[in-house]
Structure 1
Amino acid sequence: MKNKKTTVIKSLTKLSIARRNFMDIVENVIRAIKFESPEYVPMEYMAFHLKNPYELSDIIELSYGSSKFWKPSRPGETEWGFIFDTAGGRAWGMGRPCSPPLTSWDKLDAFSVPDPYQKERFEAPIYSAALGATLPSAKMQIDYWKKKKYILGGLSLTMFSLMQCLRGDTMILIDMYKNRDKVEKLGDMLLQHHIGLIEMWSSYEADGVIAYDDWGTQRGLFAHPKLFREIFIPRYKKMVQTAHEHDMHFFLHCCGYIYDAIEDIINAGIDVLQLDQPELAGGGGISGIDRLAKTFGGRICFMAGVDIQATLVKGKLVDIENEAKYLIEAFGSFDGGFIARPYIGPQAIGLASDSPQYQIMYKTFRTWGRYPKKLG
């Protein structure tokens, strides 16, 4: 494995940062997604240490806010009714979901799904629990960055991950076997909400949307692949269809070991698969990056950074540099197909966006980011 990495890394052609100006940034991202010979590897990089954290990024990922008619009744409460517990502010990010509102399926008929079509969600300042700060509205950000950078509208937690929050981790897994009809009904309710958000992002001229839905544990999917295929994939197909009808791309963030679901993800028409732990897909003596690229490369665009559970937190700087180069070679050898994305929550893994690990990762993606010619 080491010899192979050394060989392909030497074959990469350096790309100076200045060359990013040779092709329009938005066009370059689209070409990477569509395997149409982009000029360089596009990157989403949240530089929290800068006054403008989007300054170095090709992709501007935005969130929507809560309804002006809703106010939390307790700390950490979400508009959906569950709570994000941040251990009194000690935990970075959203926190752990708890207090699910659907403790009984008898509550489903009366359950109120937030209205995705309220404009204030996109036109009022947004408080970010992850950043602990109030951000400018999505509309304001889009008006500033439109046509300068690729605009990616966030759908927040979707489908399975949202069901876990609404029903509880254990209960929703039991329900997928014992209360399938209720899960399907809830899925349809969430689908209409997600489609509404997609339509709203389109109205504000976003270039794509990203769903956050973690399907995997460290060893496999939360449930049998057949259940994900039957319950969630049809609904994702409808979301993707909506995005495509509005000339937007569909990104899916999915953590854990999800190798056994990627074929279905591709069949759903999803354009970009965002992974933070690409090496988790390894098996049989093959690295995760190699296995993903060999099986799925050229069929779906991968969006990833150096593995947050392995090399990024355990490796030396030279290891981080080498893995960043190898990601370009493995996923980007199909006339496109790779978007670099250093993990957007560095504090959650004990780092910072200006730490040496992040700086070497960013520099490597920018310096060596020339897409290699298609291999074989």
Structure 2
Amino acid sequence: MGNIKDNVKRAIHFQYPDYIPLMYYDHNLIEKTDVVSIFVTELAGGPGHDTSEWGFRWELEKNDQGFYAPGSVKYPAITSWDQLKNYKPLVAKKSGRFDYAQKLMSKYPDRYYVANCEASNFTLCAYIRGFEDFLCDLYEEPENVRKLIDIVFDAEEDLIGECAAAGFDAVWWEDDWGTQLAPIVNPELLREFFLPRMKKAVDLAHSLGIDIWLHSCGYIYDLIPDLISIGIDGLNLGQVSLNGVERMGKEFGGKICFLTPGNYQSTGITGTVQEIFDEIEKFTIHLNTEKGGMVGLVSAVSTRLGYGAPLENALALPRAFEKYCGRWNPIKR
């Protein structure tokens, strides 16, 4: 069995990995993980009003279980387009940004490292401007929208360069495009405003030898061909089953790597332990191929409890992934 990092790359790029890699979000389990995800920006979550590196102020809200869950941006950075000329985005070259990452890289050099940039692209622009205002601006202020997009992507491309120089293997964008039923906005608007700059950033990442991962919650099935066309390497869908596991495998298997979590909206919350195991097996059957194309993502137990999962379900998810994926389950060919 080959190097851990090399196996992850082979899974992502359809080069016959030895096994389906796993990523544990909990760094206390780093001995078991193949992929290490590290936040490299300050989105400024937590109680109170904190200012992100992008200038907006974000609040987390306490749920019924006593955990802080994602809330909303209360104070956008740009409340009037008159403020755009003085807007200051994230500065990529920041002292200490990668200190924690480089400690881990030094101790575990054989892992595949992902720089999680948190909110990115469309979602980031909506946070900066204010969600409802930004949706209206796509129709009413297209030139100002394009100016903001250029500012954001210029900074994101600088960050990609810094991440590559720091030794990361991938950059992870978190960009929620979907509702339960359809994309948040007309897909043609995403194609017009965002995909060209996304492709430019992806091309930059590839020229520097690193991958691009994209996260989206919701239903975005009809946009997956666009993501493939611009070169996205890994797709992390927050609700995999919502988009149709069998048809995604049939249509897109072998074309993009699926970075697959357990379903933290339905099965993981209200399903039985057996249903959790069955769902993970289903992912490995339909989304993985003989050449690769899947990485299993295992969220921390505390995170699953925060979403409202009963304890037995929260504990079952890693066991389900470990039954079908990981270094102890080599692929038989």
For the criterion TM > 0.5, the same-fold answer is yes
Q: Tell me if structure 1 keeps the 8 A contact 2:254–2:293.
A: yes
Say if 2:69 is the partner of 1:107. no
Higher share in strand:
2
2:60 aligns with 86
Structure 1 residues 87-117: Cα deviation after superposition (integer angstroms, max 9, x where no partner): 4795524532111121111110110112111
Secondary structure at the residue paired with 1:251? strand
1:239/1:334 Cα in 2 relative to 1: closer, same or farther (>3 Å)? farther
Secondary structure at the residue paired with 2:73? strand
Structure 1 residues 188-222: Cα deviation after superposition (integer angstroms, max 9, x where no partner): 10111111111111111111111110011111111
Give me the TM-score of the superposition, normalised by structure 2: 0.90
Say if 2:21 is the partner of 1:26. no
2:175 aligns with 213
1:75 aligns with 49
1:202 aligns with 164
Q: How does 1:265-304 map to 2 (within 5 A)?
A: 265-281=227-243, 288-304=244-260
Q: How does 1:1-376 map to 2 (within 5 A)?
A: 22-47=1-26, 52-65=28-41, 75-87=49-61, 92-123=68-99, 137-146=100-109, 148-281=110-243, 288-343=244-299, 345-351=303-309, 355-369=311-325
Instruction: Give, in whole Å, the separation in 2 of the partners of 1:324 and 1:85.
Output: 33
1:314/1:27 Cα in 2 relative to 1: closer, same or farther (>3 Å)? same
Paired AA for residue 350 in structure 1: G
1:15 aligns with none
Secondary structure at the residue paired with 2:51? coil
Q: Tell me if structure 2 keeps the 8 A contact 1:329–1:372.
A: no
1:28/1:245 Cα in 2 relative to 1: closer, same or farther (>3 Å)? same
Instruction: Give, in whole Å, the separation in 1 of the partners of 2:29 and 2:19.
Output: 21
Instruction: Give, in whole Å, the separation in 2 of the partners of 1:351 and 1:122.
Output: 33
Q: Tell me if structure 2 keeps the 8 A contact 1:335–1:372.
A: no
Instruction: Give, in whole Å, the separation in 2 of the partners of 1:116 and 1:26.
Output: 25
Instruction: Give, in whole Å, the separation in 2 of the partners of 1:44 and 1:77.
Output: 29
Q: Identity rate of aligned residues, in percent?
A: 31
Structure 1 residues 224-261: Cα deviation after superposition (integer angstroms, max 9, x where no partner): 11111111111111111111111111100111111121
1:219/1:371 Cα in 2 relative to 1: closer, same or farther (>3 Å)? farther
Instruction: Give, in whole Å, the separation in 2 of the partners of 1:236 and 1:330.
Output: 28
- Displacement of 1:334 in angstroms is 4.1
Give me the TM-score of the superposition, normalised by structure 1: 0.80
Higher Cα Rg, which structure: 1
The count of corresponding residues between Structure 1 and Structure 2 is 324
- Displacement of 1:152 in angstroms is 0.7
Please say which of residues 360-369 and 292-301 is displaced more in the overlay.
Answer: 360-369
1:120/1:94 Cα in 2 relative to 1: closer, same or farther (>3 Å)? farther
1:204/1:362 Cα in 2 relative to 1: closer, same or farther (>3 Å)? same
Q: Which runs of 5+ in 2 are unaligned?
A: none
Q: Which runs of 5+ in 1 are unaligned?
A: 1-21, 124-136, 282-287
After superposition, the CA RMSD in angstroms is 2.4
Q: Which runs of 4+ in 1 moved over 4 A?
A: 88-91, 370-374
Instruction: Give, in whole Å, the separation in 1 of the partners of 2:51 and 2:178.
Output: 25
Instruction: Give, in whole Å, the separation in 2 of the partners of 1:25 and 1:304.
Output: 18
- Displacement of 1:337 in angstroms is 0.5
- Displacement of 1:120 in angstroms is 2.3
Instruction: Give, in whole Å, the separation in 1 of the partners of 2:175 and 2:106.
Output: 28
- Displacement of 1:275 in angstroms is 1.2
Paired AA for residue 327 in structure 1: F
Paired AA for residue 139 in structure 1: Q
